[in-house]
């Protein structure tokens, strides 16, 4: 009798542990101010509504980590934040689950948000940022960014081909509408790298979004490419400023790694983050644009003016061409890495 009772209690305990384990959902983001905004607008509200505990992870977008998990069948991440070009490549490589958000929510989203293996959940821009206390004259374009005589000092650029090559062509006078057409040609690629050669010795590379504000605040660089939300998050306490002209706007998307054990729960969480109220809460936490169009009407005019999708901020910006980078990214990144390694 005692053995049976002990066995029953063991089963109950095991079931409780199993239920507890199932109640956790691992969501991996790019960290920093972005993650803090996600915790407040998405993680905490989802946990309050469902009881599911969000285990928050971070990474810098390394697809190799996702690939190892999928290839070895040991997927420990349920939801992963990805930039659209990475999403497109990972989808083509079979690393992600295909899914569709709730149709009622999907109908409210910006064009291009819903993709076969993911869905955009905020709009952001890579822009020029500078420290107003360090410069007597404010830069206004990528032409200024390349002007070492007028603005002497180091420049910060993201260490990768993406964004960097587009900015080089913009600095070389290529109209925004022609950038990707030209960059698809050998001539355009050579032109971009030749332009980068002009300032190579003055570049301080960054790899994580938290670095440009640090470099600017310390005076290590006089201006830098940067994620708009990272600069907006500290503008009230620092002299850091944004130049929207020449920026590239894009969406970050939620994806589910192929073989994720909690796919259904992951999709529930994703749908939650796309609703207008959560999108409003996110945009109030960090100056990234909501993908749910109804959320804009819930925000103050002042807040909308600070977003990359607010007018006139969007004017003069270039939309990221995710399909271009899905097609050309691997070769261009290889060429960029070889170029960057040469002294």
23 pLDDT tier (thresholds 50, 70, 90):
low
Q: Do 231 and 173 belong to one domain?
A: yes
Strand bridging mode 223-227 / 155-158: parallel
pLDDT tens digits, one per residue of 107-129: 999 988 999 999 999 999 999 99
8 pLDDT tier (thresholds 50, 70, 90):
very low
Q: Do 149 and 295 belong to one domain?
A: no
Q: Do 38 and 173 belong to one domain?
A: no
Tell me what pLDDT residue 16 has: 39
pTM across the whole model: 0.76
- Dihedral through CA 285, CA 287, CA 288, CA 292, nearest 10? 60
Is 306 part of a structural domain of the chain? no
Q: How far apart are the first and last CA of the chain?
A: 78
Q: Is the dihedral of CA 225, 228, 229, 234 positive or negative?
A: positive
Closest CA to 190 of 167, 165, 208: 165
pLDDT tens digits, one per residue of 259-289: 999 999 999 999 999 999 999 999 999 999 9
CA angle 213–214–216, rounded 5-degree value:
65
**R_g over Cα of the chain:** 22
Closest CA to 291 of 166, 114, 139: 114
Q: Do 240 and 257 belong to one domain?
A: no
Tell me what pLDDT residue 260 has: 97
Tell me what pLDDT residue 312 has: 82
Q: Do 223 and 297 belong to one domain?
A: no
Q: Do 77 and 62 belong to one domain?
A: yes
Q: Do 105 and 95 belong to one domain?
A: yes
The number of distinct structural domains making up the chain is 2
Q: Do 132 and 177 belong to one domain?
A: yes
Q: Which phi and psi (to 5°) does residue 158 adopt?
A: -65, 135
CATH number at 78 reads: 3.40.190.10
* Domain that includes residue 328, residue range: 124-250+316-341
pLDDT tens digits, one per residue of 221-251: 999 999 998 898 888 889 999 999 999 999 9
Beta carbons within 10 angstroms of residue 68's beta carbon: 12
- Dihedral through CA 112, CA 165, CA 317, CA 180, nearest 10? -60
Is 308 part of a structural domain of the chain? no
Q: Do 216 and 244 belong to one domain?
A: yes
Is 311 part of a structural domain of the chain? no
Q: Do 96 and 212 belong to one domain?
A: no
Q: Do 217 and 169 belong to one domain?
A: yes
Is 22 part of a structural domain of the chain? yes
pLDDT exceeds 60 at position 292: yes
CB 256 within 8 A of CB 266: yes
Give the H/E segment covering residue 324: helix 322-341
């Amino acid at each position: 009798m005692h053995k049976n009772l002990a066995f029953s209690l063991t089963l109950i305990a095991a079931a409780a542990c199993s239920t507890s384990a199932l109640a956790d959902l691992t969501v991996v983001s790019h960290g920093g101010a972005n993650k803090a905004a996600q915790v407040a607008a998405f993680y905490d509200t989802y946990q309050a509504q469902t009881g599911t505990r969000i285990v928050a992870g971070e990474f810098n977008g390394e697809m190799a980590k996702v690939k190892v998990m999928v290839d070895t069948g040991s997927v420990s991440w349920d939801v992963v934040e990805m930039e659209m070009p990475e999403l497109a490549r990972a989808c083509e490589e079979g690393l992600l689950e295909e899914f569709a958000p709730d149709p009622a929510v999907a109908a409210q989203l910006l064009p291009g948000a819903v993709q076969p293996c993911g869905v955009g959940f905020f709009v952001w821009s890579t822009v020029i940022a500078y420290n107003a206390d360090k410069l007597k004259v404010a830069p206004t374009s990528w032409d200024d960014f390349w002007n070492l005589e007028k603005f002497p000092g180091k420049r910060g650029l993201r260490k990768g081909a993406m964004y960097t090559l587009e900015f080089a062509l913009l600095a070389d006078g290529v109209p925004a509408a022609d950038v990707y057409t030209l960059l698809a040609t050998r001539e355009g690629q050579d032109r971009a790298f030749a332009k980068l050669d002009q300032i190579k010795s003055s570049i301080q590379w960054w790899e994580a979004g938290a670095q440009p504000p640090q470099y600017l605040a310390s005076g290590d660089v006089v201006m830098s490419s940067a994620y708009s939300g990272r600069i907006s998050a500290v503008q009230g306490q620092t002299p850091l400023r944004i130049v929207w002209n020449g920026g590239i706007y894009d969406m970050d998307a939620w994806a589910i790694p192929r073989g994720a054990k909690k796919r259904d729960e992951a999709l529930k969480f994703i749908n939650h983050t796309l609703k207008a109220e959560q999108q409003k809460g996110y945009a109030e936490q960090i100056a990234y644009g909501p993908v749910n169009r109804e959320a804009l009407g819930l925000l103050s005019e002042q807040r909308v003016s600070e977003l990359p999708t607010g007018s006139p901020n969007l004017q003069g910006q270039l939309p990221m061409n995710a399909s271009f980078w899905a097609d050309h990214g691997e070769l261009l990144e290889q060429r960029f890495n070889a170029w960057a390694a040469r002294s």
